[in-house]
Structure 1
């Protein structure tokens, strides 16, 4: 940090000071609400990243958290568009998205109930909505529209029970669910990894979503360490990052592979021609035009 302060920030201070003084008051208030008054004074007003190293770590964590929340608003949009344009769900596992939706809803509810900073969990709500859309599209393109409607109904009931009526799920049960959410988050990646391996290609899976998830899960480990003292949340992000690495590796490995493994076309059966009866005709020969055929009528 000393090198950064002396080599970059100090020479730029004459240029940065007027910019800082011109920042509107609401922006300063927003920064104070995020990192506190002492850190706001040290980092923004004094332009000194060495005064309090904890302030610098907190500011980096907040910036990463806001960036993750912002990116999460569009992270699954390419996947949704890819499904709509291709009208195919090849290579995309519904089970994977259903499990991830359940994990996200539990983590969102747990974080809201514990009043964690929004920058540490805000993306869960946005990604969950997009996951629901992907799940519905996958089921519809698989010809299972009734299952898609059931999926939406189950999600709506879960949101009500976890977020809006806290008498149905108490705090202790919520903690157990959060422990399970980490397992669900890990399990949600397994069907997708298996689907790619089975089909020998990534099909309609979006590379943008996969690599953004990889970066986001790594950043979430850092922000959780900085701002949330909760091992349940931390271990879930670490496990999710590990499996996101596998998905990203598969995406690179199967980059130019077809959506599904090509199967050999079945060999056509030879058409058997009935053998000719003792009529003297050659096999398969047609009667000669005008030839007389046997009849049961008696001639008079």
Structure 2
């Protein structure tokens, strides 16, 4: 940070200080609530990135967390629009989205119950809602509307049991579920990876969502190390990043590759037989052959 302080921040301090001093009080209060009063004074008031490296790391973590939460609000929107526009779910695995939805709901409940900073998990709620929408669309375009309704009902029951009625799932059970959520998050990527490999194409899978996930999972490793002392969450993000990396590599490898379609073998119709040529039929005139006009001499002798 020292080179940045000397080459960038120090020359700009005469211009940055008036801006900082003119910031309204609610902005300062928001910064204090995020990084604390000492870090607020060091970074924002004094404009010093080198005085306390821990403050700088915390500020970077908070900025990344807020950026991830903000980006998560639209991360699956391109995927949703792509499904609606094509009215096809080719290349998109419902199993993958169902597993990811379960993992996100468990992680959301676990973080809420442990009162972790919202900036470290806020995207789970937003992505879970979008995952449910994608899952419903995939089932709908596969002509499985009853399954889509059942999927919504299961999600609603899970939200009630995990978030709104905490007596149904105690804290001890919740810890076990969080451990399972990490495995679910990893498992949710495998059906999608297999689907891409099987079809030899990414189909209707959104590249924006894939690469956004890759960047988000990498950033979450950093923010978890900085702000959350929980190995269960950290290991889940590390495993998720590894599989997101595989999906990103598939996206690049199968870029613009058309989806394999099951081609029906066309049965060749037998060549039409040429109409048999009818043998020419001699037309009779209906008249007996004409006899010669001359009278033949009679040879019979008269008795």
The answer, yes or no, to whether TM exceeds 0.5 is yes
Instruction: Tell me by how many angstroms 1:270 deviates.
Output: 4.8
Partner of 1:109: 109
Classify the secondary structure of the residue corresponding to 1:169. coil
Q: Distance in 2 between matches of 1:47 and 1:178?
A: 40
Question: Alpha-carbon deviations, 1:102-151, whole Å to 9, x = none?
Answer: 00000000000000000000000000000000000000000000000000
Question: Alpha-carbon deviations, 1:206-247, whole Å to 9, x = none?
Answer: 000000000000000000000000000000000000000000
Question: Alpha-carbon deviations, 1:6-65, whole Å to 9, x = none?
Answer: 111111100000000011100000000000000000000000001100000000000000
> Superposed, which structure 2 residues align to 1:193-208 within 5 Å?
193-208=193-208
> Superposed, which structure 2 residues align to 1:69-218 within 5 Å?
69-218=69-218
Q: Distance in 2 between matches of 1:13 and 1:97?
A: 48
Partner of 1:298: none
Q: How many corresponding residue pairs?
A: 279
For the pair 1:271 / 2:273, whether they are aligned, the reply is no
Q: Distance in 2 between matches of 1:211 and 1:42?
A: 35
Question: Alpha-carbon deviations, 1:258-294, whole Å to 9, x = none?
Answer: 02x2455514245399xxxxxxxx9975999xxxxxx
Q: Distance in 2 between matches of 1:113 and 1:286?
A: 91
Q: Distance in 1 between matches of 2:258 and 2:33?
A: 50
Q: Distance in 1 between matches of 2:56 and 2:244?
A: 28
Q: Residues 96 and 287 (structure 1 numbering): CA distance in 2 closer, same or farther, change over 3 Å? A: farther
Instruction: Tell me by how many angstroms 1:2 deviates.
Output: 1.2
Question: Alpha-carbon deviations, 1:80-102, whole Å to 9, x = none?
Answer: 00000000000000000000000
Q: Residues 287 and 159 (structure 1 numbering): CA distance in 2 closer, same or farther, change over 3 Å? A: farther
Which aligned segments of 4 or more residues in structure 1 are displaced greater than 6 angstroms?
none
Partner of 1:234: 234
What TM-score, normalized to structure 1?
0.90
RMSD: 1.7
Partner of 2:14: 14
Q: Which runs of 5+ in 1 are unaligned?
A: 274-281, 289-300
For the pair 1:254 / 2:261, whether they are aligned, the reply is no
Partner of 1:297: none
Q: Distance in 1 between matches of 2:58 and 2:80?
A: 34
What TM-score, normalized to structure 2?
0.89
Q: Residues 116 and 286 (structure 1 numbering): CA distance in 2 closer, same or farther, change over 3 Å? A: farther
Q: Distance in 2 between matches of 1:195 and 1:2?
A: 48
Q: Distance in 1 between matches of 2:277 and 2:262?
A: 40
Instruction: Tell me by how many angstroms 1:4 deviates.
Output: 1.0
Q: Which runs of 5+ in 2 are unaligned?
A: 280-303
